[in-house]
Amino acid sequence: MNPVNLYDKSFEHDNCGIGAVVNIKGIKSHKTVEDALTIVETLEHRAGKDAEGKTGDGVGILLQISHKFFKRVTDEISIQLGSERDYAVGMFFFPQNELRRNQAKKMFEIIAEKEGLDVLGWREVPSQPDVLGTKARECMPNIQQCFISRPEGVKKGLDFDRKLYVARRFFEQSNEDTYVVSLSSRTIVYKGMFLVGDLRRFFLDLQDNDYESAIAIVHSRFSTNTFPSWQKAHPNRMIVHNGEINTIRGNADKMLAREETMTSEYLMGEMDKVIPVVNPEGSDSARLDNTLEFLVMSGMDLPLAVMITIPMQP
């Protein structure tokens, strides 16, 4: 019998689960956070887990930075943030070893200072490790947030985030022990090697009614081309994507080949700090996110950056 539509079951693949909640009026609320967590908790069929059934391939959520929440929790530890978007929040996965962790923190502070950024302080992220499976708990990083003030003369939003991008990429090339989950004045990512129901339970920040956002993007990982890890969970800082890019090797090689001749008026003198653009150890979704982030930080509008990454059909 001839097919009546374009669907063909031979093209079925197991891939990641994604979802988003957006308030189109830009009104921030905790309900947006809760609704997004509910979405990811229903994506168990799009989430890989180990044979024990207690460690997941990875789950995460991208949110707007909640000034209401962070102003309160930083006041409690004597960090003065200033006004909304006058500061950035970085989410870091540090080594559990105290000496290596302190070395990494010091290195980031030095790099931030060289880039004209002032680190206001650090916060240990409240969590519940008891909800984790054995494998996830054994490799769990030390999770901390860093607060950075906006330099004078740097505009809020993209201009500030561009300086943060350069500092992050410079640090990532200088330190192999630490993973920067997110570093932005606008968004933040909470993620880890969880089962879908454990994201909410692990991070106490996400349970706080003061945490409000108008945007929430969730990702439930189904590892296909890479092994699970804390770092590879929710690999998105800018987009959300469910994987299965068949031309990933060619795409990454083409980007690498262009790096010697790439220029941008927005990254004058900084290009050597941000290349290689694509993390060769990342998943296909992570590499796509790397590319889009670079294009936007180089001055390209996000809609155009997305369009040029979509291959044209002959």
Q: Which residues are catalytic?
A: 16
Which two tokens mark 69?
């929440």
For residue 88, which of 168, 13, 21 has the smallest C-alpha distance?
A: 168
Question: Angle of helix 248-258 relative to helix 284-297, nearest 10 degrees?
Answer: 30
Tell me the β-bridge partners of 17. 220
Helix, strand, coil shares of the chain as percentages rounded to 5? 40, 20, 45
Structure-block tokens of residue 235: 């690999």
Could you give the CA distance from residue 167 to residue 212 in angstroms, rounded to a whole number? 27
- Dig out the tokens for 313 from the structure: 């059909």
Integer angstrom CA distances of residue 68 from 64, 273, 302: 11, 34, 28
For residue 189, give Cα distances in angstroms to 80, 92, 240: 22, 10, 12
CA dist., res. 308 & res. 293, Å (int): 13
Q: Provide the H-helix boundaries in 78-143.
A: 98-114, 134-138
DSSP H/E element including 40 = helix 30-41
Q: Name the H helices within 152-280.
A: 158-174, 198-202, 248-258, 271-274
